[in-house]
Amino acid sequence: MNFAPTEEQQMVRDMVKKFAETEIKPIAAELDKTHRHPEEICRKLGEMGIMGVAVAEEYGGAGMDNVAYVMAMIEISKACASCGVIVSVNNSLYGFPVKTYGTEEQKHKFLTPVASGQVEGCYALTEASAGSDAASLKCRAELKGDKYIVNGTKTFITNGNVANYCVLAATTDPAAGYKGVINLIVDLKNTNGFKVGKVEEKMGILASGTAELVFEDAEVPAANLLGKPGQGFKQMMEGLNAGRIGIGAQACGIGRAAMEDAINYSKERVQFGKPINTFQAIQFKLAEMATELDAAELLLLRAAWMEDHKLDHEKESAMCKYYASDVAMRAAIEGVQIFGGYGYIKEYPAERHMRDAKICQIYEGTNEIQRVVIARKLLGLR
């Protein structure tokens, strides 16, 4: 058993860490304050291959593996959680289904510009009445000739306000449940009948847009269908497995940022004549953070390795996502506690880490749903 990264993986981690510390972290507070989409960061990450880490070079990616992707995601998310989730969606929720199920023509047309970082992609699954129950979609796609006519509204779509392309989950027959689900690639900038609706005001990840997507008799070419009719739900579940690794890595990065900031502050803050890091109460908090975050990272790397080796990783992806996000939330809470009153004000990053960490327990499948997934796999239930 070898825990050492390969030379290529270490190169990616070092490159992204340097970029994140010099170009992302210095503007993270400004991005949080202004809610500005970090387009210049996305373009530079694209040039580095990070918007499509595990996508083949012929489709604009870096041609690396998912272990390298996890390492890159942790470093980016340490610097800015909003940048982290934008990268995650491009790689996982959008990139995975197009890479895995797309035709050659679809990959060249719709994957290359996203994986190369020229534009953003998104995945439109959630609806007002379909979240954890992903099979109960109301967004309807009716095949008429060589086009699908799409009607429905998607909610809480990450990157939805800035994306050029979308993988849209819809149903051809609501009564058919999961058997009626299909995935369509939609060119959002050139589709009549589509518009961006409300852009949400959120607690955290404020530089990442979360939007409503509205389809009213929108025409999508039938050639944009991913795979075959009836395969959509399976594609969705496999895509979410990949996405959960990305969100787990985002959470781990947030947790590490909270811990490192707390360590640095504990060295500087003096009470009772000595730095607070000399007090056992502070030391124990930091020790617990470090242990849990290391465990979370190991779970993430295992799941990524399993995906790279095309092994069933549904359980492992659920484990790493829920554990890493729970650990990140605990680290963020304790980080605020170590900062004391300063942790509660926006001048310091501790409160931002706490706001950013919370969503990781909710999106890409709530942590309650992750436990259901794990239990079903353990018990052999469908």
Following DSSP, what letter does each residue of 139-205 receive, concatenated? Answer: -EEEEETTEEEEEEEEEEEETTTT-SEEEEEEES-GGGGGGGEEEEEEEGGG-TTEEEEEEPP-SS-
pLDDT 10s digits, 171-210: 999 888 889 999 999 999 999 999 999 999 999 999 999 9
**CATH 1.10.540.10 location in the chain:** 7-119
- Give, in words, the CATH class of 122-232: mainly beta
Length of the chain: 382
Residue 337 has pLDDT above 90, yes or no: yes
CATH architecture of 238-379: Up-down Bundle (1.20)
**CATH 2.40.110.10 location in the chain:** 122-232
pLDDT 10s digits, 338-373: 999 999 999 999 999 999 999 999 999 999 999 999
Residue 382 has pLDDT above 80, yes or no: no
pLDDT 10s digits, 104-161: 999 999 999 999 999 999 999 999 987 778 778 999 999 999 999 999 999 999 999 9
Alpha helices for 269-380 (secondary structure H): 280-308, 314-339, 350-359, 367-379
**CATH 1.20.140.10 location in the chain:** 238-379
Q: What pTM, to 2 d.p., does this model score?
A: 0.95
% of the chain exceeding 90 in pLDDT? 94
Q: What is the pLDDT of residue 2?
A: 86
% of the chain exceeding 70 in pLDDT? 100
Do 252 and 356 meet the contact criterion of CB atoms below 8 Å apart? no
Residue 267 has pLDDT above 80, yes or no: yes
CA 228 to each of CA 171, 215, 317, 341: distance values in angstroms, whole numbers, following the listed order: 13, 22, 26, 56
Q: What is the pLDDT of residue 129?
A: 84
Average pLDDT value for the chain: 96
> How close are the terminal C-alpha atoms of the chain, in Å?
32
Where is average pLDDT lowest: 1-10, 21-30, 139-148?
1-10
Residue 381 has pLDDT above 80, yes or no: yes
Q: What is the pLDDT of residue 175?
A: 85
Q: What is the mean pLDDT of residues 328-342?
A: 98
Q: What is the pLDDT of residue 178?
A: 86
Q: What is the pLDDT of residue 226?
A: 97
Q: What is the pLDDT of residue 13?
A: 97
Q: Is 40 a catalytic residue?
A: no
Q: Measured between alpha carbons, how far is 296 from 322 in angstroms, rounded to an integer? A: 9
- DSSP, collapsed to helix, strand or coil, labels residue 137 as coil
Q: What is the mean pLDDT of residues 374-378?
A: 96
Residue 230 has pLDDT above 90, yes or no: no
Catalytic residue selected from 127, 307, 351, 364 = 364
Classify domain 7-119 at the CATH superfamily level: Acyl-CoA dehydrogenase/oxidase, N-terminal domain (1.10.540.10)
Do 332 and 350 meet the contact criterion of CB atoms below 8 Å apart? yes
Q: What is the pLDDT of residue 1?
A: 78
Q: What is the mean pLDDT of residues 60-64?
A: 95
Q: What is the mean pLDDT of residues 289-296?
A: 98
Q: What is the mean pLDDT of residues 294-315?
A: 97
Q: What is the pLDDT of residue 134?
A: 74
- β-strand partners of 6: none
Residue located via tokens 């995935």: 183
Q: Which of 249, 360, 380, 254 is nearest to 314 (CA)?
A: 380
